[in-house]
Structure 1
């Protein structure tokens, strides 16, 4: 069981580094005055799921979920 805990801890540390990098790579959500005039509804605003920003958001959600699950598993007493 110690080997499994060590492997999960290593994966947890890698996940912590990955989620930090992913969050820092994302753009800010502040639109400025352009959102008032409707300039946020451009092609890239509508199809954000296919862009790099959409992929970063998706990857952040996945690594966040992995972080949460690994934190719960590593805190179990077995």
Structure 2
């Protein structure tokens, strides 16, 4: 059973890392002059649906990670 939780934790941690790295920053940063330049390239609806999907994947991966961590601790 410990092997199952260890593998589940490994997979969920990798998915969590990738999903967090793929999300766009909510801050514009130093190089954003003109504001909203990314919206004009990809369109607003595509960006928001991608961000919503990444947000859901991040939430599910974090819940699975926490459950597997508790399973390993018990």
Q: TM-score, normalising length from structure 1?
A: 0.68
Across the aligned residues of Structure 1 and Structure 2, the Cα RMSD in angstroms comes to 2.3
2 CA distance for matches of 1:22 and 1:9?
A: 20
Q: Size of the alignment, in residue pairs? A: 63
For 2:25, what is the secondary structure of its paired residue? coil
For 1:21, what is the secondary structure of its paired residue? helix
Residue in structure 2 matched with residue 54 of structure 1 by the alignment: 52
1 CA distance for matches of 2:28 and 2:53?
A: 19
Structure 1 runs (4+) deviating above 2 angstroms are: 31-35
> Are residues 1:14 and 2:11 paired?
yes
**What are structure 2's unaligned runs of at least 5 residues?**
37-42
Residue in structure 1 matched with residue 44 of structure 2 by the alignment: 44
**What are structure 1's unaligned runs of at least 5 residues?**
36-42
Q: TM-score, normalising length from structure 2?
A: 0.71
